[in-house]
Amino acid sequence: MKASRLAAAGAVAATAVVVLSSPAFAHVTVQPEGAAAKGGYAVIDFKVPNERDNASTTKLEVTFPADHPLASVMPEPVPGWKIDITKSKLTKPVESHGEQLTKAVTKVTWTADGKGIKPGYFEKFPVSVGALPEDTDTLVFKALQTYSNKEVVRWIEEQKKGDEEPENPAPVLELAAASEDGHHGSSATEEAADSASAENASASTAAPADSSDTTARVLGVVGIVVGVVGVAYGVLAGRRRSDA
């Protein structure tokens, strides 16, 4: 009986560890490096985690929004990946910063030259984009993730207001308000400087944030395990006193 109670307590503790260590929001997402201000330029990262234990991610296809075409789309080279850019003619020309756009980038595809993203890892795919639209708060980028076993996961479901998050949500970029001075980083030099600053800031803050999050989770797991063992010990101690 004592052994079975201890085994049950251990099982509860193990379950708690698994729950806390399970990845949250493990799907394809998009985040800016710094701020993605309306009317300006930004470097955005498509973060792709591998959710499979027996296959690698070998391809990522990202469709760019046709309702808000971007005049400039420049992917950053990623070691081990080939990049293909697809431009399409717009059904209706769009004016962007005084220019008429008749063609725009509609898709960017990354294909692995080697093993791709292995199980338990993720990869970031940076893209410099602009000028960002001023008449919307979000941009939706639908994505397809292909695995080495030919499985394709379609991250294309759009979040509807008031509903729960869909099973395969499309990556959504939140746009910030334009700066008060009206600066949008229009020159190439300013854009490159802003991108470099954003990359340095990201590199300097990523490790501490991850470390803090990991420490908090470990402490939480330890606390739960100690609590469960304490309860089990209390039950056994009470039994001993009753038997005596």
Give the model confidence (pLDDT) of 174-231 as tens digits: 999 987 655 444 333 344 444 444 444 444 333 343 444 444 454 555 455 445 445 4
| Residue scoring higher pLDDT (158 or 186) | 158
Report how far residue 148's alpha carbon sits from residue 41's, in angstroms, rounded to the nearest whole number.
34
Instruction: Indicate the range of 26-30, 45-49, 95-99, 234-238 predicted with least confidence.
Output: 234-238
Residue range 170-174: average pLDDT?
A: 97
Looking at residue 212, what is its pLDDT?
41
Backbone angles phi, psi at 202, to 5 degrees: -65, -45
The mean pLDDT of 143-147, rounded to a whole number, is 98
The residue that leads in pLDDT, 164 or 37, is 37
Question: Among residues of the chain, what percentage have pLDDT more than 90?
Answer: 51
- Is pTM, for the whole model, over 0.75? no
Residue 223's pLDDT is 55
Long-range contacts of range 167-170, CB-CB < 8 Å, 24 or more positions apart? 168/27, 169/27, 170/140, 170/141, 170/142, 170/143
Highest mean pLDDT among 151-165, 182-196, 228-242: 151-165
